[in-house]
């Protein structure tokens, strides 16, 4: 910080993303990426998009991509918003729907970008404790200012059934409820089917997890057309071209290869179930995950020590040195071979 920083810049506490080591010799299980690559059809579409047309701006309305989303999810085009990763979609949503004089609520343990956006946009927030089993308490998620939840939640992996999402929506008719479904394809129930019924529901998706396109930065929001118009208005006051030509080509092609992604998601789920059982045999307590990661704590060895020892063995996992979760590791699900290696290394450490 120096004397040139704005008052805003001075008070920020930025999000710290998981490490992206450049040398490729790690088993990388720290940012919930997909161990399987994108569909071959996506790679082909991106290659085809690399031509002289890159001199032109991309379509600011993302029309072809949004048409493909609309067909895939059975929603109207005016119920869809596209952005540069779901982080950006979330940031625009905080700007579009929340005001400083009405605090928003989110769980005390959740995606750590939510408080960062709140601070960036000068919003106030209240956190609601999870129960002792790391479950969101739907009846306490109440605010006239807005509600944000991740379902499945991060970093716990626990999911709420749709009936409990409904009860949150019914309890907050006057405020926007954002349901961040970054991990829904690994075992959650999506609330997209509720957007016609609840004009205050915004469902946020990403192509970074089940669709294996974290490197392309593609996110979506689904909601009533009234909400989508607010997001468009914020976006067009910020940057008209948030999705580039290659991302639009990749996203559109990804929607046309559901079979491929169903297969890789199924594989990740199978590996997660095997890995969870192996951890439990070794005295880890592991939450029931509906995501592409597990959240685990050992009965004797502290998570921070395990994190360092795994790292010494070229395995990267995520450790959050934060109250309530500072004895847990979040471990992304890799290939079967990756996870067998983790178990072997844990056996040596323990
Ligand atoms: N929401 C949650 C709950 C996440 O864990 C992540 C990934 N870190 C995101 C949103 C953002 O994903 P992306 O910006 O890659 O779409």
Name the DSSP letter for residue 39: P
Structure-block tokens of residue 126: 């209240």
Q: Ligand 1 centre and the CA of 244: distance in Å?
A: 19
- Please count the helices (runs of H) and the strands (runs of E) in the chain: 11, 13
pLDDT digits 0-9 by tens, 90-141: 999 999 999 999 999 999 999 999 999 999 999 999 999 999 999 999 999 9
Give one DSSP letter per residue of 119-183, joined into a string: HHTT--EEEE---TTS---GGG---SS-EEEESS-TTT-----HHHHHHHHHH-TTS-EEEE-TT
Which distant-in-sequence residues (6+ apart) come within 8 Å of 47 by Cβ?
Answer: none
Q: Ligand 1 centre and the CA of 182: distance in Å?
A: 6
Q: Is the pLDDT of residue 18 over 90?
A: no
Residue 207 CA, closest ligand 1 atom number: 16
> What is the pLDDT, as a whole number, of residue 280?
98
Q: What is the C-alpha separation between 70 and 5, in angstroms, rounded?
A: 43
- DSSP 3-state of 73: helix
**pLDDT band, residue 19 (cuts 50/70/90):** confident
Q: Is the pLDDT of residue 23 over 90?
A: no
Query: Do the beta carbons of residue 306 and residue 326 sit within 8 Å?
Result: no
Residue to probe by mutation, ligand 1, list 151, 154, 251, most atoms within 8 Å of CB = 154
Residue to probe by mutation, ligand 1, list 81, 88, 111, most atoms within 8 Å of CB = 111
What are the backbone angles phi and psi of residue 53, rounded to the nearest 5°?
-65, -10
Which residue has 């951890």 as its token pair?
Answer: 279
Q: Ligand 1 centre and the CA of 87: distance in Å?
A: 6
Residue 155 CA, closest ligand 1 atom number: 5
Q: Is the pLDDT of residue 44 over 90?
A: yes
Residue 90 CA, closest ligand 1 atom number: 10
Beta bridge partners of 203: 179, 222
Residue nearest to atom 12 of ligand 1 (CA): 86
**pLDDT band, residue 22 (cuts 50/70/90):** confident
Q: What is the C-alpha separation between 128 and 250, in angstroms, rounded?
A: 38
Instruction: List, edge to edge, every strand of the sheet that includes 104-107.
Output: 80-83, 219-223, 201-206, 177-180, 147-150, 104-107, 125-128
Q: Is the pLDDT of residue 62 over 90?
A: yes
Name the DSSP letter for residue 251: H
pLDDT digits 0-9 by tens, 159-192: 999 999 999 999 999 999 999 999 999 999 999 9
Task: Report CA 38 to chain centroid distance, whole Å.
Answer: 17
Q: Ligand 1 centre and the CA of 318: distance in Å?
A: 14
Average pLDDT over residues 239-265: 97
Task: Count the alpha carbons within 13 Å of 126 in the hemisphere toward its beta carbon.
Answer: 14
CATH of region 2-37+259-349: 3.90.1150.10
Structure-block tokens of residue 192: 């997209």
Average pLDDT over residues 225-235: 98
Task: Count the alpha carbons within 13 Å of 184 in the hemisphere toward its beta carbon.
Answer: 19
Q: Ligand 1 centre and the CA of 236: distance in Å?
A: 22
**pLDDT band, residue 2 (cuts 50/70/90):** confident
Q: In this structure, how many other beta carbons lie within 10 angstroms of the beta carbon of residue 31?
A: 17
% pLDDT > 90, the chain? 96
Residue nearest to atom 1 of ligand 1 (CA): 182
Domain layout of the chain by residue ranges = 2-37+259-349, 40-257
Q: Which CATH architecture has domain 40-257?
A: 3-Layer(aba) Sandwich (3.40)
Write down the mean pLDDT value for the chain: 97
Helix runs in 7-159, H state only: 7-11, 40-49, 63-73, 85-97, 113-120
Average pLDDT over residues 23-43: 95
Q: What's the longest Cα–Cα distance across the chain?
A: 59
Q: Ligand 1 centre and the CA of 206: distance in Å?
A: 7
> What is the pLDDT, as a whole number, of residue 88?
98
> What is the pLDDT, as a whole number, of residue 270?
98
Q: Ligand 1 centre and the CA of 53: distance in Å?
A: 30
The ligand 1 site (C-beta within 6 Å) comprises 85-87, 111, 150, 154, 180, 182, 206, 208, 214, 219
């Amino acid at each position: 910080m120096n004397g040139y920083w704005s008052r805003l810049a001075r008070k920020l506490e930025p999000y710290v993303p998981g490490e992206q080591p450049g040398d490729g010799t790690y088993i990388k299980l720290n940012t919930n990426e997909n161990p399987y690559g994108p569909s071959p059809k996506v790679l082909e579409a991106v290659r085809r998009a690399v031509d002289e047309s890159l001199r032109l701006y991309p379509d600011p309305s993302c029309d072809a991509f949004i048409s493909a989303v609309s067909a895939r999810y059975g929603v109207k085009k005016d119920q869809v918003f596209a952005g540069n990763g779901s982080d950006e979609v979330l940031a625009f949503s905080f700007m579009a729907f929340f005001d400083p004089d009405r605090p928003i609520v989110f769980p005390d343990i959740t995606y750590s970008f939510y408080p960062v956006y709140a601070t960036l946009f000068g919003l106030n927030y209240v956190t609601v404790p999870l129960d002792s089993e790391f479950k969101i308490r739907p009846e306490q998620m109440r605010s006239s200012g807005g509600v944000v939840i991740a379902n499945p939640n991060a970093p716990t992996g626990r999911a709420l059934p749709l009936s409990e999402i409904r009860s949150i929506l019914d309890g907050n008719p006057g405020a926007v409820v954002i349901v961040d479904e970054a991990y829904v394809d690994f075992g959650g129930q999506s609330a997209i089917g509720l957007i016609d019924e609840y004009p205050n529901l915004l469902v946020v998706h990403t192509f970074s997890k089940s669709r294996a396109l974290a490197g392309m930065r593609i996110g979506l929001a689904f909601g009533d057309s009234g909400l989508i118009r607010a997001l468009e208005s914020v976006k067009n006051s910020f940057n008209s071209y948030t999705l580039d030509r290659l991302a639009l080509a990749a996203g559109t092609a990804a929607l046309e290869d559901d079979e491929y992604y169903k297969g890789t998601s199924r594989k990740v789920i199978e590996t997660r179930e095997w890995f969870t059982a192996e951890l439990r045999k070794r005295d880890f307590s592991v939450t029931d995950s509906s995501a592409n990661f597990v959240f685990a704590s050992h009965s004797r060895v502290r998570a921070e020590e395990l994190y360092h020892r795994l790292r010494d063995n070229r395995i990267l996992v995520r450790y959050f040195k934060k109250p309530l979760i500072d004895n847990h590791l979040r471990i992304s699900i890799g290939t079967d071979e990756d996870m067998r290696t983790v178990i072997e290394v844990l056996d040596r450490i323990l």
